[in-house]
Amino acid sequence: MSDEVFIPPGANAREIAIRRRVHAQAEFYRHLMVYVGVITMLWLINLTMRGMPTAGSSVWRYWAIWPTLGWGIGIIVHGVTALSSFGFLSRDWEERKVRELLDKP
């Protein structure tokens, strides 16, 4: 997967912005699929090993919760930034801010 957005020759500014937005959304969906796959595997390993004798406390018996929560926070942030079209998180806001700063003397 390439991090570059394909922009055909002669594309106008609106098309470029739309292509960048769709690319950001596709990156989020790929990230989400990897998250679901890896977390599923971790939970399967965790639940398979649950019956084995452990030296630690029962709190560590469900260790897969920690990567699930930690990475889950990252997924939520990525989703909000990739899928939001409001407020300070949107590309439109960025463009307005750049124009505002460029217009200042």
67 part of a folded domain = yes
The confidence band for 81, taking pLDDT boundaries of 50, 70 and 90, is confident
7 part of a folded domain = no
Q: How many domains does the chain have?
A: 1
48 part of a folded domain = yes
CB 82 within 8 A of CB 25: yes
Nearest of 43, 102, 33 to residue 69 by alpha carbon: 43
pTM: 0.72
C-alpha to C-alpha distance for 83 and 78, rounded to whole angstroms: 8
42: tokens are 């971790």
2 part of a folded domain = no
Q: How is residue 74 annotated by DSSP?
A: H
Residues in the chain: 105
- pLDDT of 36: 98
- pLDDT of 39: 98
Residues spanned by the domain of 94: 13-103
pLDDT digits (tens, 9 = 90+) for 16-67: 878 888 888 899 999 999 999 999 999 999 988 876 666 556 667 788 999 9
